[in-house]
Structure 1
Amino acid sequence: MSHDGMTVLARRRETVRRARVEELLIRFAEEEDEGSCALLDPQIPPYFLTRRIEQREVIVAELDGEVVACLRFEFLGARAPLISLLAVRPDLQGEGIGRHLIEFLEEYLRDLGYNALMCAAREGSPDFEGWLRRLGFQECGFLSGMHPDGSGEVFFRKSLE
């Protein structure tokens, strides 16, 4: 990984769903990625996505020239970066792309001096919660009533030290 946080070649010649992959590129989103990110994150208002991209708070995974995943994060106060979205194209889920996005973010945050990363999972998402635990996240809280159906969010924290 590069230390400038701009562009990273995460894997070379990796097999993804029986297709030969020349490069999986993990990088910060750019203005021209807005359409692809909006397809992966359809609930975000366009102006909000534009602002997040300008502030370097969106990371994408590019496979053979196509954006196939995105991670959006934000800063909650001075010491609490939070992953607010992780979306991988459905046919590529389970291939390690989300893990590469998180690893890129972790390195970037370490370079900025952060010592922890947070993420939230919708209540009743055992697969996602288990995946976060396998990546080293630990449950640290719960916020009830976050969604129209009354379900809440389970919060996780990972040390970056």
Structure 2
Amino acid sequence: MNKVIRFANQKDLKATMEFDLHKNEEVISNKIDMKEVIVAELDNKVVGCLKIEYIWTHIPFISYIVVRMDLEVLE
């Protein structure tokens, strides 16, 4: 199993939109360009997504972390 965590690029737009509740392509595309979206890959497939937002334009926080449901581990 090949695991990779990296910043998203425009090739990941479709995959990251599947994780986003609002599904606003323009907003997600812009966030990808601004390096505000991180993806988790498993065997070269996007299986998770993290989105960064900013409070008052300069305090970063994680607005969501989503992992494909069939890969979640609940204990």
TM-score, with normalisation over the residues of structure 1? 0.43
Rg bigger for which structure? 1
Answer 1 or 2: higher relative contact order, Cα 8 Å, separation at least 6. 2
Write 1 or 2 for the structure with the bigger share of strand: 2
RMSD of aligned residue pairs (Cα, Å): 1.4
User: Alpha-carbon deviations, 1:110-146, whole Å to 9, x = none?
Assistant: xxxxxxxxxxxxxxxxxxxxxxxxxxxxxxxxxxxxx
Matches within 5 A, 1:27-106: 27-77=6-56, 78=58, 80-94=59-73
* Segments of 4+ moved more than 6 angstroms: none
User: Alpha-carbon deviations, 1:14-34, whole Å to 9, x = none?
Assistant: xxxxxxx2x210000000000
Shift of 1:94: 2.1
Q: Aligned pair count?
A: 73
Output the CA distance in 2 between the equivalents of 1:87 and 1:75. Answer: 18
TM-score, with normalisation over the residues of structure 2? 0.88
Q: Which runs of 5+ in 1 are unaligned?
A: 1-20, 96-161
Q: Which runs of 5+ in 2 are unaligned?
A: none
Identity of aligned residues (%): 37
Shift of 1:42: 3.9
Shift of 1:62: 0.6
Output the CA distance in 1 between the equivalents of 2:16 and 2:73. Answer: 19
